[in-house]
């Protein structure tokens, strides 16, 4: 049994948001798919809103712990609601603290929750470029879940994962073993 470290990073200004729920569904399904293939996933979920004012300090233990987890991970599931047709400020505040090339060698999956379909391109035009700038490998299409589809969350994520598997498997299953 091989093992990879994952971080599920949630950038909603509210604690315990629907964005958290969506991100955990993605992590759960990816984990459930990897484990039967002999890849154990040790995940840490970070609900950025819980960091509160610590986010604005230059040295803060909780923030530094999160950055350390990210530095050690193999897989980053990064999630944000769409605000003003882009990712949230609170997510970007955390991403701004990651050092240059700090996601180099990590597989990253951008996930967004959208109130309306007209903003869905944001995951490709705004969110993915930040992850790429940090050096991440984003082999799949970004996942955007419409709020109106949250009732069928498991199906929406499942359909996305089905299409993503051929790109994720070589990077997460083969490479890690």
**Contact set with its own copies (CB under 8 A):** 13, 49, 52-53, 55-56, 83-96, 98, 104-105, 116-122, 124-126, 128-130, 132-135, 137-142, 163, 166-167, 169-171, 174-175
C-alpha–C-alpha distance, residues 41 and 31, integer Å: 6
Tell the smallest beta-carbon distance from residue 10 to its own copies (Å): 14
Tell the smallest beta-carbon distance from residue 87 to its own copies (Å): 8
Tell the smallest beta-carbon distance from residue 33 to its own copies (Å): 16
Q: CB-wise, 28 or 56, nearer to its own copies? A: 56
C-alpha–C-alpha distance, residues 151 and 107, integer Å: 28
Q: CB-wise, 154 or 174, nearer to its own copies? A: 174
Tell the smallest beta-carbon distance from residue 32 to its own copies (Å): 21
C-beta neighbour count of 117 within 10 angstroms? 10
Query: Is the sign of the CA dihedral 125, 129, 130, 131 positive or negative?
Result: positive
Tell the smallest beta-carbon distance from residue 104 to its own copies (Å): 8
Helices 18-34, 153-169: inter-axial angle, 10-degree rounding: 50
Closest CA to 69 of 38, 103, 35, 25: 103
How many angstroms separate the Cα of 81 from the Cα of each of 16, 19, 91, 116? Answer: 13, 6, 9, 11
Q: CB-wise, 71 or 121, nearer to its own copies? A: 121
Q: CB-wise, 3 or 104, nearer to its own copies? A: 104
Residue 78 contacts residue 26 (beta carbons within 8 Å): no
Q: CB-wise, 71 or 163, nearer to its own copies? A: 163
C-alpha–C-alpha distance, residues 136 and 33, integer Å: 22
């Amino acid at each position: 049994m091989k093992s990879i470290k994952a971080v599920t990073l949630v950038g909603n200004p509210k604690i315990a948001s629907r964005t958290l729920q969506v991100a955990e569904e993605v992590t759960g399904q990816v984990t459930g798919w990897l484990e039967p293939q002999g890849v154990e996933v040790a995940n840490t979920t970070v609900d950025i809103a819980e960091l509160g004012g610590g986010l604005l300090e230059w040295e803060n233990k909780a923030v530094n712990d999160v950055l350390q987890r990210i530095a050690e991970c193999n897989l980053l599931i990064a999630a944000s609601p769409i605000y003003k047709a882009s990712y949230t400020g609170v997510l970007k505040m955390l991403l701004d603290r990651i050092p240059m090339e700090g996601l180099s060698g990590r597989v990253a999956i951008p996930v967004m929750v959208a109130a309306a379909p007209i903003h869905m391109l944001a995951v490709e035009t705004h969110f993915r470029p930040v992850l790429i700038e940090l050096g991440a490998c984003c082999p799949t299409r970004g996942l955007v879940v419409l709020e109106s589809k949250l009732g069928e969350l498991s199906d929406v994520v499942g359909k996305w994962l089905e299409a993503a598997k051929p790109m994720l498997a070589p990077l997460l299953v083969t490479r890690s073993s």
